[in-house]
Amino acid sequence: MLLTKNILMSLGISTLLLAFSSGCSSKNINIIGKNRVEITKNKGVKEGNFLKIMAELENNDNDETEGFVYQIEWYDKNGFIKDATPWKAITIHKNQKIQVIEMTNIPDIVDYKIIISVPNK
């Protein structure tokens, strides 16, 4: 019984550690590749008929400027993907934060996903 409890506790802790270390805990964020950029904030608001999103990205590295690409996927109320932005290249200098703001041009969008692809160095 005690053994089972210990195993379950270890599993729980491992899962939590994995979730924190991957940085992909939000359902709206998907990071592909090396996790060298942190998304410190992200939110979506309705502007008229259109969903507008803001994401704050941070490069915590003291030494290196990060270059990567990102894309936003737009979803309707049924969870179907309706549109996606083109991949956009972006650079964050070391120890800098930037805001990315995007708005869909399709009226019935209710949800989004930010996909970040960081190349290998």
Partner 1 sequence: MKTIVNISISITLATILFSGCAPKGGAGMVGYDSNVKYGDAKAVETVTADFGSTDLQATAESLTQSLLESRYIAKAPQTPKVRLRSVNNLTYEHIDTKAITDKIRIKLLKSGQVRFLADTANLNQVQDERELTASATANKGNKAMADSDYIITGNVRSIKKANDDVKDVYYNVSLELVNPQSGEIVWADEKEIRKVTSKSSVGW
Q: Write out the residues near partner 1 by the rule CB under 8 A.
A: 47-50, 67, 69, 71, 84-89, 91, 102-103, 105-107
Smaller CB distance to partner 1: residue 28 or 66?
66
Check residue 108 and report its DSSP letter: T
State the nearest-atom distance from the C-beta of 107 to partner 1, in Å: 6
State the nearest-atom distance from the C-beta of 106 to partner 1, in Å: 6
State the nearest-atom distance from the C-beta of 117 to partner 1, in Å: 9
Give the CA count within 13 Å in the CB-facing half-sphere of 66: 26
| 3-state secondary structure labels for all residues of 20-52 | HHHCCCCCCEEEEECCCCEEEEEEEEEECCEEE
Residue in the structure block whose two tokens are 């060298």: 36
Smaller CB distance to partner 1: residue 18 or 64?
64
80: left (phi over 0), alpha (psi -120 to 50) or beta: beta
Smaller CB distance to partner 1: residue 29 or 69?
69
Smaller CB distance to partner 1: residue 21 or 83?
83
β pairing state of 50-58 and 38-47: antiparallel
State the nearest-atom distance from the C-beta of 103 to partner 1, in Å: 5
